[in-house]
Amino acid sequence: MTAARFDELIHPSTRLTLVATLAAADWAEFAFLKDRLGLSDSALSKQLTTLEEAGYVLTERRLDGGRRKVRAQLTSTGRDAFNGHIAALQEIVAGVAPPVEG
């Protein structure tokens, strides 16, 4: 089980959505991520670079029919950070949520 730990790098909503999307896939194409998050090319590139520099994301650039394609994958470090962040958020919510009546 992953230890709960709040991660300031993942927490901003754009990065949290990006990491959650990558957690649900093996690899995700840049165009898919751009559409899913509603970001410009430059904004998505910046977010991917930030996560890649932290070791949370791996990007791959390749040629496909003469066009440059980029795809991204969550690393095991990124997955651990995401799972720890989600666990921390769940602890926060559980601590303030009213008891569920059965």
User: At residue 74, what are phi and psi to the nearest 5 degrees?
Assistant: -75, 130
Helix (H) or strand (E) holding 86: helix 76-96
What local confidence, expressed as pLDDT, does residue 97 receive?
61
**Average pLDDT for runs of 10 along the chain of length 102:** 88 96 96 97 97 97 88 97 94 77 66
What local confidence, expressed as pLDDT, does residue 99 receive?
65
Degrees to nearest 5, angle at CA 58 with 54 and 64: 150
pTM, two decimal places: 0.87
Most distant pair of Cα atoms in the chain: their distance: 60
DSSP annotation of 90 reads: H
